[in-house]
Amino acid sequence: MTPDDDVLRSADALLRYAAAADATQARDLLAQLPAARLLEVVVSQAELAVDSERPRTAGIDVVAELGRAAIEELGLPQDVQQDLTEDLDLGPAVTGWELVTVPPEDLTATTLALPVRPWHLLLVAFVDEPAGDGRQLRRVVAAAADGRLVATRLRLGERLDEDHDLLGAHVSADPADLGPDATLATALLAALEASVHDLG
């Protein structure tokens, strides 16, 4: 994609072009993640969402390509991407971090004002609930910039270093397949889509 003369005539048009290019690159990167790998990325981020020093009962995290995140979030030079090569078996290298922490009842409403950027690949929302056996159940709902949606449940170990049990999962482009998680998944996807237009 190359900007034409019209794109270069105004800052707003240039921003729209850059946002569209970032969104296209995000979709291209996600195309390298089959459903099983996408689910693995979502589960990994959900497992890392809470630490012992600052518990979070609900929140939304973001996942992005590692090189871009290093530049945008850590301020590293742009040539750092050359050193962050992808694993041919796992696809592009990605990383995730906390976007917002909210009360559980505010999780869906928070999606209306998320600081999402067009180069973000995934939004991963979670909320913890008692599992009834003394452990915690983590409800996880995610949306990818290519339109795929993920819903899963994790039964957490009593300690953070324990293995977590995966209690079923759905990966689909149809929100209806996610049942009660459809509303949150759709809201997350809308936040990703809005990020492209908001910069324009």
pLDDT tens-digit profile, the chain (200 residues): 455 555 556 767 777 777 788 889 999 999 999 999 999 999 999 988 877 677 789 999 999 999 888 888 776 655 555 454 455 456 789 999 999 999 999 999 999 999 999 999 999 999 998 877 777 899 999 999 999 999 999 998 766 556 788 999 999 999 999 999 999 999 999 999 998 776 54
Q: At what angle do helices 182-198 and 11-30 cross, to 10 degrees?
A: 140
Residues in a beta bridge with 94: 65
Residues 6 or more apart in contact with residue 105 via CB below 8 angstroms = none
Backbone phi, psi, residue 10, to 5°: -145, 155
